[in-house]
Structure 1
């Protein structure tokens, strides 16, 4: 971590243990500065020689045994003021990525500018930021993260935040061959790239830098700052959409710890909703940049935290565009009313219906051709067959739900009726299961169920003699 030391005098600030600070000196203090719960017994001359604001405040304070000034609104609080005060005395202070922003905001508030004294604190911090902090990958991230605590100070001067964002985005988009700084990467074991034989004989190896080397470090950023950085990275058009997708996945796993299990604590719902909404907004427009499984997990979370309809519709559309990649488990989306603990869990079939409709509508409109999914119609037919098998298997699972309405079952099956299956066993099993479950619970409806489902079965199996006769008649 980069740091900068200022001043040369020893630190003579003392604390009596009750948030009361004073300077050990033969000279009596002549000003008291109140910052929050802390009191600072100081001397006017060193403070006024550096701070324009204190010059004004002391000048307007009535004379007495000691002037007392309240500065409760100073950014960074007592810790930042302490650094500024020590700088005024010429005492040694150390600035680093964790305290430089709060100190900068405090110095700016105190008007510690060059017009007051040459080599003043605001100027020195600016030099430190530009010459050291913004040249360091991890320090830039730490500094940007600390700006969230200084919003009131930096909102009027966003230049500092923008410089930090640009610094991070510039390094994230640099050619990987030029990455020579440390970064966090625990997502998979890095491969070792063997150097030419002459260097190999000397035992030298070079570690390959992955294209997504930066995604874990950025996942530590607060959601609003993360959004700004990723937008800046995307706008540079130097990073592939696949890497952007990996970045969003890493951020989701970091900020939504219950993503894989589809759970979230009630107290975390507002924050989780913000994360889901922003990830959905940042998703690359190109198809296939993130897996269908990840999109479905994101949709489940969006339903759980009650994201807006626009967010859910966007996720449904994207899932429909690559539905053949999904698994049955992916599609088992629990209805929001279910707490997951009662028997006969009800699944949100309407959402799956919308997803399948997006797939069929996209196929009819030829929206998938440009993504390489069609070659003379062969891959398109393969995709439709995969989705039909997926829906058959999904119907077999939801058929176990005694609360599933007949209309929902039939409508979903009918949506993939155009697919030329090589076998209809999956659909048969789904219908058989549905009839058995319903016959046990609603006996009086069995004749209607048998009739309607036999019609559906005959529609699919008209070319397969004898199969329809297997239908269980109660």
Structure 2
């Protein structure tokens, strides 16, 4: 904001310049008495002070004194006299034709005094009312700093300032100059104006928001105003056409200073002017007014105002006990923006687990209500880049992660926890990983619940929707019900079998694609494209590091020596999976043996000449190819001797691997042996 050249802070009044108006007034009264040879016969009482004045100067300028002196020369001004004795002294100097010392700090008081004493054009040309108005319009309202000074003075001169339209004129002037500041094309800035982008994606930080407000002096001064004036300035900004992307951040920064900042709350409690006033009620009134100013329900503001700010305001409204329509609108706004939120933003009791009970806290009830509101909305989707994202699944994941905090409450019973799980429909959960973690935390914090309650808590967990690492963890979790462990074990076995099958198909297609006309499944094709997409050097290096694609996860787990519990879990899971693979290889060996016997009998029969080798005309018949879509076994295209050799070597390798401990070197040896078998 362009400055007027004055050094004084616009919010800090300065005293009258010397000589003091009281001294000047006494000198002028004595001089007038000598010039006119008349004593001061009028006695005016103001704020306990008595002024001895002459009748002629008062009557010539003031309609009030004309009426009052017709009755008595003893006049006592009321306690509501605007400006007090200081402003009266300056007005009397003007009555004695002395130069008028106007400045932004006294012009409002003089204008109010002139109105009270009826010092208008009706009684004298160029009277005090006209002089004060002229100074306000041509000097004060043309300067941001001077206007702020006068507006601050309006607080102590109400309702006079309102009746004289000084407040409204100052507000309109400030709003106009703020618009010009934003639209100024010559403005040089390092960053964007009034942007809260740095606050997006993080928990609301009052100190960081304070730094943003301090980047522009005019913003800092604007949010320092009392709420009554700030409210009217915001409405004037909107009336004058300022874009909402600039107006909303002003409201956010004002709320950060007066509502969210604990430092300001403590300052208000310690100031003398607030003694006897309930600070909480004052902050609640400001919060209520700010919620009415915020453009709640406007989808465009979701990109301007961080979601963490709405959660901070919601938390403050809960702690202050705010209720009503504005609170409901705030909850609806938060519910509509849940997919932009983070679980760190969600409400928890201020004392955490030290509170009486999280399950019965007002914060949890508010969060339940917000998620229920979101569920009642129509399903929403939005684009992130070029992909379409379902917001319901994102919100369901946030709720499950939030439940992990709630489950730590030892006073939370099973029925209450089940109702919390049911807050979000099960169909919205694309994955149950975070739901499993919440259930696991609940069972750890409630080890003495009955088996029936344990089964009821875990009844919604769907093991096929668990990722493979979480499924392995569920199998090894002794706190889980036996039925769930068995289900997770079955799912894990299917995962292992499918992984081996997909890799086998992709490997077979890679080695024998020219001889088989097989068509791969979509999952095998994906695995194959990933396998074939690497160059030869990358593939060889990865095989050396991990012992082959099939055993990569096994050798990797042995590197976690600093986490023995994880290494043990990985080893147990690996042992189980190898056992399944071993059984499948034994079955494969038997089937190959039977196939070889059948092949031998056909070979003996084919030694005698027959019409199968020749056509009708003695010509050699063409060899039949596999029709498209038929899958030929790559193992079947190899002789029985080599088949038996490969299978035996694979079986021995898997048996050795099952019997291994946690040593990394032994696994590497077995991995090398299996790799050499595959190469052979």
- The answer as to whether partners of 1:260 and 1:297 remain within 8 angstroms in 2 is no
Question: Would you tell me which structure has more strand in proportion to its own residues?
Answer: 1
How big is the shift at 1:164? 1.7
- The answer as to whether partners of 1:13 and 1:21 remain within 8 angstroms in 2 is yes
Q: What's 1:78 paired with?
A: 85
How big is the shift at 1:101? 1.6
Q: In the alignment, which of 127, 131, 148 is matched to residue 138 of structure 2?
A: 131
Aligned residues: 423
Distance 1:101 1:121 in 2: 12
Q: What's 1:225 paired with?
A: 229
Distance 1:391 1:260 in 2: 32
Distance 2:452 2:279 in 1: 46
Distance 2:71 2:133 in 1: 30
Distance 1:128 1:307 in 2: 44
How big is the shift at 1:420? 4.5
Scaled by the length of structure 2, what TM-score is found? 0.55
**Higher-Rg member (1/2):** 2
Q: Deviations over 1:42-88 (max 9, x none)?
A: 22222222111111111121xxxx63433432112222222212221
Change (3 A) 1:408 1:355: farther
Change (3 A) 1:375 1:396: closer
Aligned positions of 1:118-267 closer than 5 A? 118-157=125-164, 159-174=165-180, 176-178=182-184, 214-237=218-241, 239-256=242-259, 258=261, 267=278
Q: Deviations over 1:155-182 (max 9, x none)?
A: 444x332222211121222363537899
- The answer as to whether partners of 1:2 and 1:139 remain within 8 angstroms in 2 is no
Residue 290 of structure 1 aligns to a residue whose secondary structure is coil
How big is the shift at 1:121? 0.8
- The answer as to whether partners of 2:258 and 2:265 remain within 8 angstroms in 1 is no
Unaligned runs of 5+ in 1: 4-9, 190-209
Q: What's 2:287 paired with?
A: 276
Q: Deviations over 1:190-238 (max 9, x none)?
A: xxxxxxxxxxxxxxxxxxxx9987432211111111111101111223x
Unaligned runs of 5+ in 2: 7-18, 34-38, 196-213, 270-276, 482-680
How big is the shift at 1:116? 0.8
- The answer as to whether partners of 1:75 and 1:105 remain within 8 angstroms in 2 is yes
- The answer as to whether partners of 1:22 and 1:41 remain within 8 angstroms in 2 is no
Q: In the alignment, which of 439, 443, 446 is matched to residue 435 of structure 1?
A: 443
Q: In the alignment, which of 422, 426, 443 is matched to residue 417 of structure 1?
A: 426
Residue 428 of structure 2 aligns to a residue whose secondary structure is coil
Change (3 A) 1:98 1:452: farther
After the TM superposition, which of the residue ranges 272-281 and 29-38 deviates more from structure 2?
29-38
Question: Would you tell me which structure has more helix in proportion to its own residues?
Answer: 2
- The answer as to whether partners of 1:145 and 1:225 remain within 8 angstroms in 2 is no
Scaled by the length of structure 1, what TM-score is found? 0.77
Q: In the alignment, which of 31, 37, 41 is matched to residue 52 of structure 2?
A: 41
Residue 456 of structure 1 aligns to a residue whose secondary structure is coil
After the TM superposition, which of the residue ranges 132-141 and 168-177 deviates more from structure 2?
168-177
How big is the shift at 1:450? 0.5
Residue 33 of structure 1 aligns to a residue whose secondary structure is strand
- The answer as to whether partners of 2:260 and 2:316 remain within 8 angstroms in 1 is no
Structure with the larger RCO, 1 or 2 (CA within 8 Å, 6+ apart): 1
Change (3 A) 1:409 1:97: farther
Q: Deviations over 1:116-149 (max 9, x none)?
A: 1111111011111111111112222222232222
